Structure 1
Amino acid sequence: MSSVNTAIQLITREQAEQGATAKGSTCSPALAKGPWDYDLAEALAGIPAYGPGASSADAAPAATPRQGQLPEEYKLASDAELGERILAAKAALGDRAVILGHFYQRDEVIQYADFVGDSFQLANAALTRPDAEAIVFCGVHFMAETADILSAPEQAVILPNLAAGCSMADMADADSVAECWEQLEEIFGTEPDAEGRVPVLPVTYMNSSAALKAFCGERGGIVCTSSNARTVLEWAFQRAQRVLFFPDQHLGRNTAKALGVPLEQMPMWNPRRELGGNDAQALLDSRVILWHGFCSVHKRFNVGQIEKARKDFPGVQVIVHPECPMEVVDAADSAGSTDFIKKAIAAATEPTTFAIGTEINMVNRLAAEYPQHTIFCLDPVICPCSTMYRIHPGYLAWVLEELVAGRVVNRITVAESVQDHARTALERMLAARP
């Protein structure tokens, strides 16, 4: 099975040659270009963007990191040449560098990773290499921040393309959350109830900035992942009357609903509206206050796609990520983290048809890894995570060869003052095991 990038190149070429009769579709023909084209376009326009893919319609904040121009030699190199240079650099560096690859990365990058997993698995994997001078994180910005928080001070965490951010993480910024918190405290007060539960506790998803993890740590809050969100909410409800959950509304809603929290007790907080678009009574009656954020990849999945999969493949098993909208999770056979999805397919002993609702690179890789099954993405349009797709073998070759030359580029650092509180929130998460 060809990689997602290969499929995009083929579809784009066929569309140019055959027009409407071409088979297959992507959400943007610009996906076939090198990410350095977007770097240049943003530099010329002076406006940051997430690039083509699922998040292309999301507005990037002005402070979004931007990648400088990649040296021309890496843009012009063939895939084979880049592969040779990456392998040579890895050999020269040996144990001095470790490469981490997220499940959603393109195959052309994943093939060089020493560890593959979700964001927190990878941050933990880096801890198994305490002697590594450099941690090259092929993921997105908040993941590299987490790795920097958990790694030793002398270890350099490197993000091959600084423009690999996360539109969901950017939907909740520190100033907006702090303003929300002030308004909530005015309504709820700060005194605990007779059972010792505080009025509200902040819970942030792993897909958030280090500043927001620190915000939670400083206020008795916690971080969650998609795999332990239920346990974390249970932990929070033991300590608080209600929870402010950010930035992903869908993970918060799906998790709280599974715990029996009624939808009417889950108001949405829109930071662009007064009191988040609510009245004070709705907030007083709440159990979970959901932030108006979402993942643009998982927002693409819908019930119609599930209905078509069931019609085309009777007996199909539909598994989706809990970042999908509630109606999609309800219509699926099961929902869980990327690791849950991978384990569910690995556990199937008989040939099975799986329709998966998560990022296309992971789905495509699972289909290649388990050829005894029929595995396909619910979304028929190839539309990868915009920001994950900003990582390309050219950038990986560049940062590795710079390390060989004794230079550290694209280092991600989190201020010590932020690290302390963020680490506290992460440690609480680690202690809240499912």
Structure 2
Amino acid sequence: MSNVELIEKINELKKEKNAVIVAHNYQNDEVQEVADVIGDSLALSRYCANNDKDVIVFCGVHFMAESAKILSPSKTVLLPEIDAGCPMADMVTADALREEKKKHPGAVVVCYVNSSAEVKAESDICCTSSNAIEVVKSIPEKDILFVPDKNLGSYVAQKVPEKNIILWEGFCITHHRVSLEQVKEIRKIHPDALLLVHPECRKEVWEEADFVGSTKQIIDFAKESGSSKFIIGTEMGVMYKLKKDNPDKSFYLLSQGLVCPNMKKTTLKSVYNALKEMKYEITLDENIRLNAKRALDRMIRIG
């Protein structure tokens, strides 16, 4: 089938199954085009929990679909590509976290949402890249065990120096590969452009940035800024929305290596197959779901 035919079939199946399609900002353009809502992982999960659809087709990676299931247990959550995982999420396991907690018995575990449901269930509170600083500031205790992203954790540590942040040795392989040399090189090419980067990048990269923020914060900053040229230091999928929202502005990708292979696995065909065959359904152990939800709820209460 052509893309036009696939989109037509997807829309028919969506009505038939009372489904909603949500897509992360890093998805392929064609997938973002067919989605009902585009955004970051937690915002999408919260959107799904607050609508009346029976089926959620989550165009993202595994931990994102899990988050949707955590918040919407009575709904059917489908992940179009079941092997779309997250290397950073895989860098921490529940067993390993339990062992580390024994070494720091007084520490509060702050878990980045880019992690499995099992890891969230072992944590005290979750955070996103946009609210990590506020979450850490809200904790009375001084010692914080931050998992799994050491780059985001380093950024938070710089902004909240009064806390003792113990970093987990995890990272996003896509953001982590960006180098200071690449920053200097593209600055030479586009000297009048503002550099906007994600805190999942290395410290030496985000220290050079004009703005550091989550995917949504980068999108919002570019839209509201009076500047017309931007160097974007996050996954290339965000360029779709940036260009769509700001047709009169120019955007340059900081590095051609800013591609998440797992995010690119989802296609129109896999969205169609997910709805047609109701695959691949995400299921969670109820005890794990409830404990993970507790950590998410604590974060949500902060705002």
Settle same-fold status: TM greater than 0.5. Answer: yes
Structure of larger gyration radius: 1
1:123 aligns with 2:30: no
Name structure 2 gaps, 5 residues minimum.
none
Answer yes or no: is 1:384 the counterpart of 2:259: yes
Aligned to 2:193: 316
The residue correspondences of 1:405-416 to structure 2 (distance < 5 A) are 408-416=278-286
Deviation at 1:364, TM superposition (A): 4.2
- Shift, 1:416, TM fit: 0.9
Letter in 2 for 1:393: L
C-alpha contact (below 8 Å) 2:21/2:36 kept by paired residues: yes
* Shift of residue 87, structure 1, vs aligned partner: 2.7
Shift of 1:383: 4.8
Aligned equivalent of 1:226, options 129, 137, 149: 129
Match in the other structure for 1:253: 154
The amino acid across from 2:260 in the alignment is: C
Displacement of 1:241: 2.9
Is 1:106 aligned to 2:28, yes or no? yes
**How far apart are the structure 2 equivalents of 1:400 and 1:231?**
38
The corresponding residue for 1:17 is none
Deviates more, 1:166-175 or 1:367-376: 367-376
Q: Which residue of 2 aligns with 1:397?
A: 272
Measured against aligned partners, the alpha-carbon deviations of 1:52-104 in whole angstroms (never above 9, x if no partner) come to xxxxxxxxxxxxxxxxxxxxxxxxx33333223223323434xx111111000
Q: Tell me the CA shift for residue 368 of structure 1.
A: 4.0
1:10-61 residue CA offsets vs partner (Å, 9 max, x unmatched)? xxxxxxxxxxxxxxxxxxxxxxxxxxxxxxxxxxxxxxxxxxxxxxxxxxxx
Please tell me whether the aligned partners of residues 174 and 257 of structure 2 are also in contact (alpha carbons under 8 angstroms).
Answer: no
Q: Note the aligned Cα RMSD (angstroms).
A: 1.6
Instruction: Give the C-alpha shift of residue 310 in structure 1.
Output: 2.2
Deviations 1:273-328 (A, max 9, x none): xxxxxxxxxxxxx9111001000111122222222222222221001001110110
Amino acid of the structure 2 residue aligned with 1:376 = Y
1:367 matched to which residue of 2?
Answer: 243
Equivalent residue in structure 1 for 2:98, among 168, 178, 185: 178
Give the letter for the 2:16 counterpart.
Answer: A
Residue type of the alignment partner of 2:146 = F
| 4+ runs deviating over 4 angstroms | none
User: Does the 8 Å contact 1:364/1:376 carry over to 2?
Assistant: no
Contact 1:233–1:256, Cα closer than 8 Å, also in 2: no
Q: Determine the structure 2 residue equivalent to 1:420.
A: 290
Output the TM-score relative to the length of structure 2.
0.95
- CA offset at residue 429 of structure 1? 0.2
> Where do residues 195-214 of structure 1 align in structure 2 (5 Å cutoff)?
199-214=106-121
Q: Distance in 2 between matches of 1:123 and 1:362?
A: 18
Q: Is residue 247–residue 294 contact of structure 1 (8 Å, CA) maintained in 2?
A: yes
d(CA) in 2 for partners of 1:230 and 1:359? 22
Quote the offset at 1:247 in angstroms.
Answer: 0.5
Instruction: Give CA deviations for 1:394-419 in whole Å, capped at 9, x if unaligned.
Output: 110111123xxxxx321101111011
Structure 2 matches for 1:16-415, cutoff 5 A?
A: 77-93=1-17, 96-129=18-51, 131-151=52-72, 153-185=73-105, 199-216=106-123, 221-236=124-139, 238=140, 240-260=141-161, 287-350=164-227, 352-379=228-255, 381=256, 383-402=258-277, 408-415=278-285
- C-alpha distance in 2 between matches for 1:340 and 1:111: 21
CA contact (8 A) 2:29 2:240 kept: no
Hey, what's the Cα distance between the residues in 2 that align with 1:300 and 1:364? 22
Cα distance per residue 1:160-194 (max 9 Å; x no partner): 11101111000001111111122333xxxxxxxxx
Gaps of 5+ in 1: 1-76, 186-198, 262-285, 403-407
Q: Secondary structure at the match of 2:88?
A: helix
TM-score, structure 1 as length reference: 0.67
Distance 1:295 1:228 in 2: 18
1:184 and 1:233 map into 2 onto residues whose CA distance is: 17
3-state SS in 2 of match to 1:331: coil
Counterpart contact for 1:309–1:316, Cα < 8 Å: no
Q: Which amino acid aligns with 2:116?
A: S
**CA displacement at 1:348 relative to structure 2:** 2.1
Matching residue's letter, 2:149: D
What is the identity, as a one-letter code, of the residue corresponding to 1:176? Answer: A
CA offset at residue 138 of structure 1? 0.5
Equivalent position to 1:430, from 284, 288, 300: 300
